[in-house]
Each structure stands twice: as structure tokens, then as C-alpha cells.
């Protein structure tokens, strides 16, 4: 058995045990009595804790956000600043986030086990998101005037900030999936109350520190911590005007139901079961170079990755061999080591879920070519051996359900039409990739896939383009102008001109 050597808790982890929530521009003690422990999933050591805020804390946070939004009748609120003024704050915030890059990376890895090679990108990516949305100031400041069809008048279409927003983030990318909501909300003129996931409540505090250093006015950003039930209270709070959530589809359905009852706008970025459609003319060497990033990023704990590989029958065996060899050769171990590719599952519950899926795959007749429900080789930590399944059929659970762990399924198809049908034979519609030696052909085929995003030969999100799920993968869009509009409410002002 291998033993991981725990990195001593150092100044690189500025937040460990804390009693505070962040409300109206300052840290203050939570009034709730419970605590949430933070566990390093690579070592199973409890190294941090945060308070479970009370309903009174939530009320204070929402009230602070409301005052900051409106100005409380005695000053300009955040909504009253010009887009250019708000953009200035976002640009300073981006700079401050980058200054905290190492602390963000290390705290992130200690919270959820993301390999440091992954978490080290978090601050730079967050800064890039802030800068992108700051660049849209001109879009908000450009007059939108639409003439009446008969020429008798015109309509000025204004875009008002929607109000106080609840931002609820998951544990797999605790920084970037907060910032993907925070940046457009701030740019639009909204104020926010953030609730991070219970396993990852500490790294986001570094974003709060960056916001304070950037001079974001008091009350514009507020942070409360608590269990999932506390998120439900935030969603249903009467002072919330919009909800933005990233997480599982079952929880998303519950939030959608609550928001539907309240007629409250909601953006949901949910689960996925995306496919990598491999065409017969594929260059397997090129595919092997991007396989893990495309299909098993962050130890398989990424919503859009292509965890189903659809292989042409005539190249099925050699594709299985390549995928198996690539995954088996990738290092699993201490996520603080820069050459580690696969870390642990983020929580004990997630480890158990992934292992149960692996057992179901074997029971239903799939063949594990590497990994399987075997010993991880480590004497502690929530590790699951990265697993590749061949001989997978469409009806198997591992081919239909989101696993959220290091498990790949390789399915066989005989014709292109069958491959496209398999790609679309899912309840989800979030991501997907096409691998082909003919980029133009791949581009044409992309239009036949029923999914929100498709990568040709790789997968990556673009902050300037919408990231939107279909079907069970969510509602609305993040990123791009579309992501900004999710935090705006249109107002049409009609006036006569003759």
C-alpha cells in the first residue's frame, strides 16, 4: 500500500478554522451553532471548519445585498453605477485574484482533491472571466432604439439589473463556478449572496478577500455557509430576485420547482453524459494527447467531459487498447504533486457512488480493461482506480447515468448514423466532442448533435461563447453576452416621434 505524505498546513492555506460569514463588507461571527468540517480527501484529515449560518444570518446577508443594490435611499447603489464604473471594479478584482493564485490553488486542492496541476489554473481562469465580462461594458452602454413599424414612434429598450441574486456553487470547481456567476451578476449591476458547497467552503473566501482589496462596496458581495438545506432557504428567501445554481440534475429539479412556484428567474447548469464520437479516420496518437483532458478532466469530476467514447466497429479494438494504455499510464496519487493526473474523489460519499457504478458495469456485462472496483493502492484517502469499460451497450447504467468519477465507457457503432443516434441517446445535452481527420466533416456532423457545446478534436469553454445545457443538463446559459443577459431585466420605453 502506498502512503500519501500530507503537506503541512502552512501560510499557503490562509483560511482553516473560521467562525465568520461575510456580510455588508466585513467578516462577522455567524449566529448559527453548527459547524461544517472540511476534510482533505487525499488523507482523510480534517483540517478546516466553517460555521453553519442561521436563518438570521441569511436575512442579514440578503438585507445587506438589497441596501447595496438600491443605495437604501440615501446614496447611489451598485445598480446606479455606470457599466464602465462597474467594469473598473471587475478589472481590479481580476488583478487581486491573480495575486492570490497559489493560496487559491492549494486551498482548492486541500478541499476537494483536485490535482494541483488543475487547481493552479483556477485563479488565472477566474481573472479571465472577470476581464471578459468587464469588456461588455460597451454593450450595456450602447443605446438600443427600435422604431415602430409605421414610423410613428420608437421604443428605447433598457436593460435593468435584475436585483439580489443567490449564487450556489458545487464542489468540483469551487472558484470558477462561483466566478462564472459572480462576474456577470456584478457587471449587470446586481448584488449577490454566495453559498459554496459544504465540502469546499474555504477557497471562495480568497475571492472575497480579493473583492475587498479591489474596493467592491460593502454589501455588494455576501457569503454564507451551511448545509444543502440552507441552500434551499436561500433559494426560497423572499428577498432574492434570481437564483443561479450549478450542481446535480436532481437538486436542479428541486430548485427549478421552487423558482417556478415563486416565478423567480433561475439559471441551472446541471449534469451531463457527453459523448466523444470517434470517426474512422481519427489519428489515435493525436486523440491520446487530449484524451484525459477531454474525457476524464479533474479525476472525472467535470460536468461536460465526454465519458462515453463512441468507437467505429472497424477500429474498436485498437481504440480500446489506446484508451486503456493512456489511462493506465497516468499517475494517480498525492494531488499536491505537479505530475499527478488523477487525485481522489472529493468526498467519501462520491467514492462510494463511483464504486457502486463500477460494480453495476461489471454486473451488467461490461469488461474493465483497467481499474475496476479494486484496491486503490493507498492506505487512506477517497481514491478510486481510473477505470475503462469496453463492451458497453447503450442500456447499461454506466452508459446512461452521470457517474462523476474516473470511469470511461467505450461503445461500438457500425455506421455514422448509428454513432450520431448513440450520441443523442441520452437524457442530457451539455457537451460532446468529435474526433476526425477531416475538420470540415466534423464541423458538419456537429450540427447533428443535440447538445449545447461540441468540441472538434478537443473540448474547452470560451468565456465569450454561451455554455448552455439542453434537456436534463439545465436551463439558461453562462458566459458570453447571453450569460450577462441572464442577470438583466428588459424595460421598453415607448415614445412618439410624429
DSSP 272-324: ---EEEE-TT--HHHHHHHHHHHHSTTTT--TTS--EEEEEGGGHHHHHHHHH
165 labelled catalytic: no
Phi then psi dihedrals of residue 217, to 5 deg: -60, 150
> Which of 28, 34, 79 lies closest to 54 in space, CA to CA?
34
DSSP string, 87-146: HHHHHHHHHHHHHTHHHHHHHHHHHH---HHHHTTHHHHHHHHHHHHHTTHHHHHS--EE
Q: For the beta carbon of residue 464, count every other beta carbon within 10 angstroms.
A: 12
Instruction: Specify the residue for cell string 461503445.
Output: 411
Q: Can you tell me whether residue 293 is helix, strand or coil?
A: helix
CB contact at 8 A, 435 and 279: yes
Contact (CB, 8 A) for 145 and 156 = yes
CB neighbourhood size of 439 (10 A)? 11
Per-residue cell: 301? 469530476
Catalytic residue, candidates 118, 269, 402, 478? 269
Contacts of 238 (CB under 8 A, 6+ apart): none
Report residue 325: phi and psi, to 5°: -65, -40
- In the set 303, 351, 402, 478, the catalytic residue is 303
CB 359 within 8 A of CB 385: no
Q: How far apart are CA 75 and CA 113, in angstroms?
A: 44
Helices assigned H by DSSP within 296-415:
316-329, 348-363, 397-400
Alpha-carbon distance of 216 to 219, in angstroms, equals 9
Element (H, E) at 368: strand 367-370
Bridging pattern class, strands 433-435 and 455-456: parallel
Q: In the annotation, is 190 catalytic?
A: no
Tell me the torsion sign for CA atoms 278, 460, 399, 424: negative
Give yes or no for a contact between 170 and 197, defined as CB atoms under 8 angstroms apart.
yes
The distance from CA 303 to its chain's CA centroid, rounded to whole angstroms, is 7
Active site residues: 269, 303
Amino acid at each position: 500500500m502506498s502512503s500519501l505524505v500530507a503537506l503541512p498546513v502552512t501560510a499557503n492555506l490562509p483560511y482553516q478554522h473560521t467562525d465568520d460569514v461575510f456580510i455588508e463588507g466585513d467578516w462577522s461571527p455567524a449566529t448559527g451553532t453548527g459547524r461544517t468540517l472540511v476534510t482533505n480527501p487525499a488523507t482523510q484529515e480534517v483540517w478546516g471548519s466553517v460555521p453553519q449560518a442561521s436563518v438570521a444570518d441569511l436575512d442579514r446577508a440578503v438585507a445587506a445585498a438589497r441596501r447595496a443594490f438600491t443605495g437604501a435611499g440615501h446614496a447611489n447603489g451598485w445598480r446606479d453605477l455606470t457599466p464602465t464604473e462597474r467594469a473598473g471594479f471587475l478589472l481590479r478584482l481580476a488583478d487581486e485574484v491573480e495575486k492570490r493564485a497559489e493560496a487559491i490553488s492549494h486551498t482548492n486542492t486541500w478541499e476537494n482533491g483536485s490535482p494541483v496541476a488543475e487547481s493552479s489554473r483556477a485563479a488565472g481562469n477566474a481573472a479571465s472571466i472577470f476581464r471578459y465580462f468587464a469588456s461588455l461594458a460597451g454593450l450595456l452602454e450602447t443605446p438600443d432604439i427600435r422604431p415602430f413599424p409605421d414610423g410613428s414612434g420608437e421604443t428605447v429598450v433598457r436593460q435593468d439589473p435584475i436585483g439580489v441574486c443567490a449564487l450556489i456553487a458545487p464542489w468540483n470547481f469551487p472558484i470558477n463556478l462561483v466566478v462564472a456567476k459572480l462576474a456577470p451578476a456584478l457587471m449587470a449591476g446586481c448584488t449577490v449572496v454566495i453559498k459554496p458547497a459544504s465540502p469546499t467552503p474555504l477557497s471562495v473566501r480568497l475571492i472575497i478577500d480579493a473583492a475587498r482589496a479591489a474596493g467592491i462596496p460593502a454589501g455588494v458581495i455576501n457569503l454564507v455557509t451551511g448545509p444543502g438545506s440552507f441552500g434551499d432557504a436561500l433559494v426560497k428567501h423572499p428577498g432574492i430576485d434570481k437564483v443561479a445554481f450549478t450542481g446535480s440534475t436532481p437538486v436542479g429539479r428541486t430548485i427549478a420547482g421552487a423558482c417556478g412556484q415563486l416565478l423567480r428567474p433561475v439559471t441551472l447548469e446541471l449534469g451531463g453524459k457527453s459523448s466523444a464520437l470517434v470517426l474512422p479516420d481519427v489519428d489515435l496518437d493525436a486523440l491520446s494527447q487530449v484524451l484525459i483532458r477531454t474525457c476524464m478532466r479533474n479525476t472525472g469530476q467535470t460536468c461536460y467531459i465526454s465519458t462515453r467514447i463512441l468507437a467505429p466497429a472497424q477500429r474498436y479494438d485498437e481504440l480500446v487498447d489506446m484508451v486503456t494504455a493512456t489511462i493506465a499510464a497516468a499517475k494517480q496519487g498525492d494531488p499536491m504533486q505537479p505530475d499527478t493526473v488523477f487525485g481522489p474523489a472529493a468526498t467519501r460519499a462520491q467514492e462510494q457512488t463511483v464504486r457502486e457504478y463500477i460494480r453495476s458495469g461489471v454486473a451488467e456485462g461490461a469488461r474493465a480493461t483497467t481499474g475496476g472496483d479494486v484496491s486503490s493502492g493507498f492506505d487512506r484517502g477517497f481514491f478510486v482506480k481510473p477505470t475503462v469499460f469496453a463492451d458497453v451497450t447503450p442500456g447499461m447504467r454506466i452508459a446512461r447515468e452521470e457517474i462523476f468519477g474516473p470511469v470511461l465507457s467505450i461503445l461500438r457503432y457500425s455506421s455514422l448514423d448509428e454513432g450520431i443516434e448513440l450520441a443523442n441517446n441520452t437524457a442530457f445535452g451539455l457537451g460532446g466532442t468529435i474526433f476526425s481527420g477531416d475538420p470540415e466533416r466534423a464541423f458538419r456532423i456537429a450540427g447533428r448533435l443535440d447538445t449545447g457545446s461540441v468540441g472538434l478534436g478537443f473540448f474547452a469553454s470560451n468565456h465569450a461563447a454561451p455554455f448552455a445545457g439542453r434537456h436534463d443538463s439545465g436551463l439558461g446559459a453562462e458566459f458570453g453576452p447571453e450569460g450577462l443577459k441572464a442577470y438583466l431585466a428588459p424595460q421598453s420605453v415607448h415614445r412618439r416621434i410624429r
